[in-house]
Homo-oligomer: A and B are copies of this chain.
Amino acid sequence: MADKYRLGNFFEDFSIGQKLVHPVPRTLTTGDAALYISLTSDCAPLHSSDEFARQLGYPRAPLNDLLVFHTVFGKSVPDISFNAVANLGYADVRFLTPVYPGDTLRAESEVIGLKENSSGRNGNVYVKTRGINQRDETVLSFNRWVMVHKNDVNSVCGDSRVPDLPERVSPETLSADASLNPAGFDARATGSDCWFDDYEIGERIIHNRGTTLEETEHMSATRLYQNTARVHFDQHMVAHLSHARRLIYGGHIISVARALSFSGLENGLRLLAWNSGAHANPSHAGDTIYAFTDVLDRAPLDNHPGLGALRLRLIAVKNQNPRHDPLEPRTWNSDKNRMSYHPNVVLDLDYWLSMPMRPGK
């Protein structure tokens, strides 16, 4: 009689080249879309209005790219990060085929790297994960690496390889949705007259709102994504840990910060790719999140006249309003002799966002 208590995978359970088909396919619906708005304050018209989407050439409003990301990510948790110490980073994250209400997503991962840590108590696991729809199209692919506990500290890890992941996604490799017609863009739906052309490299946009996080909210969001990582849900367990608080799923912070960034980036359309991402510090219920965006780069999308891609660095800050109390997210720490994050920074996300060029220009 086998013990059916599920431990999840530990560091020694992974091997390079291993393929994992993650359980629980998920049909996303207009119910999920409504909840996503209710949980994050998303105001992007592309995801809010079927009419706006149709004018751009979509059959209806596609689901928010981050709802798709969290759904696929959540599926990978029981296999990849149920025993994670920390979610360390992302590379070459690509948002591909749009997902619509009624589509069913499944997720698969391949282990692309492993590295035991010097403590011998855990190691880093590198995976490439794909989200796939019911027509076997890849809707999303991403690389992430996670520090995972060993179950047996004496286990020996045979494989050791740190994969060669790109520091950024090259804009030449980005492409917008084939059907997308920027000429159909109705700026009355966004209320903004700032276009691709109006964002300058080096510009900082401080977003004009903040939002306070609550326990029910982050747990409802994380449950919606069927992400079952225990640190987000189990106060009885975490009461004995250093923070003694439930940790908010880092993806919820991404969604909250991205929604705050609508104000100042109203004409943005789809997330095209993430270059990198770091959950710089943990967040807990009661924290108030603010956000600002630095414009890092911009590139036209060659196969899509009238459309460009902005490379943006989205910084989320807790309990400090960067409008009144500016900060640099990451500075040289001479004590530690390395770059380190400001203690109030909770997210550093480097991504490409598509945006129409100024019409008639």
Contact = CB atoms under 8 A, between A and B. Distances in A.
A19 B191 CA distance: 13
A217 interface: yes
A331 interface: no
Interface in A228-242: 228, 230, 233-237
A85 interface: no
Contacts of A211: 219, 233-234
A219 B48 CA distance: 18
Contacts of A48: 24-27, 226
Interface stretch (A1-9, A87-95, A116-124, A154-162): A1-9
Interface in A17-31: 21-27, 29-31
A233 B290 CA distance: 11
Interface string A69-85: 00000000011000000
Contacts of A235: 212, 286, 288
Interface stretch (A172-180, A198-206, A346-354): A198-206
Interface string A190-229: 1110100010100101111111101111011101101010
A45 B23 contact: yes
A152 interface: no
Contacts of A40: 223
- In the complex, the count of this chain's copies comes to 3
A24 B209 contact: no
Most buried by B among A33, A192, A236: A236
A65 interface: no
A192 B24 CA distance: 11
A358 interface: no
Contacts of A286: 235
A237 B290 CA distance: 11
Contact of A33 (B25, B29, B52, B219): B29
B104 A50 contact: yes
A361 interface: no
A215 B212 CA distance: 9
A321 B41 contact: no
Nearest to A192: B23
A234 B213 CA distance: 9
A219 B209 contact: no
Interface string A243-281: 000100000000000000001111000000000000000
Given A41-B223, A51-B134, A234 B210 contact: yes
A227 to B, nearest CB: 9
A45 to B, nearest CB: 5
Interface in A298-347: 319, 321, 323
24 contacts: A1-B200, A4-B265, A5-B206, A5-B207, A21-B191, A23-B45, A23-B189, A23-B191, A25-B48, A27-B51, A27-B61, A29-B30, A30-B30, A30-B101, A37-B224, A39-B223, A41-B223, A41-B228, A43-B226, A210-B233, A211-B234, A212-B219, A235-B288, A236-B321
**9 shortest interchain CB distances as A-B pairs:** A31-B34, A23-B191, A236-B288, A29-B30, A25-B49, A31-B31, A212-B235, A216-B216, A4-B264
